[in-house]
Amino acid sequence: MLFGSSDEKRFVLGYDLGDKVSQISYLASDADMPETLSVLAGAELYNIPTVLCKRNEVNQWFYGKEAVRHIEDGDGVAVTGLVAAARTGKAVVVGDAEYDPIALLTLFIKRSLSLLAMELSLDNVDAIMFTTKSLDHRMVQVLNAVTSALELKTQNVFYQSHEESFYNYMLYQPEDLMHHSILACDYDLDDLHVYEMNLNHNTTPVVATIDVKSFDDLRLPNEEFPKEAPLFHKTCERLDDEFLTIMQKVCEDRIVSTVFLLGDGFKEKWPKRSLEFLCRTRRVFQGNNMFSKGASIAARERINPSDNSKKYVFLGEDKLKSNLGMKLLKCGTEVYYALLDAGANWYEAGAQLEIIMDPSGILNIEVTPLTGKMPKMVQLYLDGLEKRPEGTTRLRITLFMNSVSEVAVKVQDLGFGELFPSTGKVWEQVIEL
């Protein structure tokens, strides 16, 4: 069912899976902007600690804030680092027993999704987008294993990085925020991650790119503010000075129109001089649920694209940055056939088609980068292709990506019915982008 195609209210979810805390946002079919699930009704407490706790002596598990409470009370064993453990794949020892890390992460996500019962039924969810700080090949494998074990009601389950969730969040922001560079500063009392989004308005669609820099200058011991007042104020001043220096350097030689301050690190309101500097010629917003909101927007865009998603294309690290296509004859007229579109996640990009081959034995694939590089024509020579009467050589062409910069092309001879059986020949080539 298409999002919003029924009279019943439908939802899409954005799940921000973090090493320390996670969040869930939801977007209703009749709403313009997402809401974020609060772990306490009536409060803006969005963070669900990414923690499990197994009660001592019994097989009883707690998650999130309840797990933290039992750990602090000393009546259970803490299981932290769930995402990191799932990535390594090594068994996790809890007490005297070993547990599969994928099963533990699945348990945490399943329990945290149950919180949504206060707001909506999972039966009414049309799509879920999981977002994580980094989305490499291994993280995709972990998420595939977890979502498969979750047995979700919807088939529309997607993944993306924090960069792309930032981009999707901006798609639903007023256009006047999109004219120049946009910064998102994510600080959790450990590292500061600065996401810089730039838009190239000279291309159609407008190409968005995001550069990420990490700084450890604001790192606090034990990731907490000191309790003593004099030391607390001294820490705040140091953070303010360090952040001001970083922001002055980041904003140098460029026009930054908008800045978002994200994460619990900014909760203590310590930015003073740095905030003065940022507010001089820029709009500054503070919050900590951008990534989960952006993920829910992305989930809606995947199943029901808006006009904005056609106007912009995001070329992140894990995105295909070129259009690939071929010229084919259709009813005697040469037409362009798109094979792979720029902006697709490389691990999801793929195509398959069947063609009637001309006698030349050469396939021409056009590669058109959206990054400013020159277009190129890649030729595949089908050596040893069976000579047959014109119009009787049927081929299957399959494309998939080995990495963000490598497209694998496989061509199979299908023959032509009983007249010309298939030779079983296969040609393979890798296109470097």
Tens of pLDDT, residue by residue over 88-137, are 999 999 988 999 999 999 999 999 999 999 899 999 999 999 999 988 88
Q: Which fold has domain 165-293?
A: Nucleotidyltransferase; domain 5 (3.30.420)
Q: SS3 of 291, please? A: helix
Same fold flag, 11-160 and 322-432: no
Give the span between the Cα atoms of 139 and 87, in whole angstroms.
7
Beta strands per DSSP E along 179-320: 181-187, 192-200, 206-215, 256-262, 283-287, 312-314
Q: What percent of the chain has pLDDT over 90?
A: 75
What pLDDT score was predicted for residue 170? 94
CB 299 within 8 A of CB 28: no
What pLDDT score was predicted for residue 354? 95
Mean pLDDT of 50-71: 95
Question: Any idea where the domains of the chain sit in the sequence?
Answer: 11-160, 165-293, 322-432
Tens of pLDDT, residue by residue over 377-390, are 999 999 999 888 98
Tens of pLDDT, residue by residue over 192-240, are 999 999 999 888 889 999 999 999 999 998 888 999 999 999 999 999 9
Six token digits for residue 182: 């946009």
Of 262, 251, 278, nearest to 192 by C-alpha is: 262
- Give the architecture (CATH level 2) of 11-160: 2-Layer Sandwich (3.30)
**Statement: residue 346 has pLDDT above 60:** yes
Q: What percent of the chain has pLDDT over 70?
A: 98
What pLDDT score was predicted for residue 391? 87
pTM: 0.86
Q: What long-range pairs does 323-330 form, CB within 8 A, spacing at least 24?
A: 323/366, 323/367, 323/368, 323/370, 324/365, 324/366, 324/367, 324/368, 324/399, 324/407, 324/431, 325/365, 325/366, 325/368, 326/363, 326/364, 326/365, 326/366, 327/364, 327/366, 328/355
User: What is the chain's mean pLDDT, rounded?
Assistant: 92
- Give the architecture (CATH level 2) of 322-432: Sandwich (2.60)
**Statement: residue 3 has pLDDT above 70:** no
* Side-chain half-sphere CA neighbours of 158 within 13 A: 25
Tens of pLDDT, residue by residue over 63-78, are 999 999 999 999 999 9
**Statement: residue 5 has pLDDT above 60:** no
Which is more confidently placed, 150 or 42? 150
**Statement: residue 1 has pLDDT above 50:** no
Mean pLDDT of 163-181: 92
Tens of pLDDT, residue by residue over 11-41, are 999 999 999 999 999 999 999 999 999 988 7
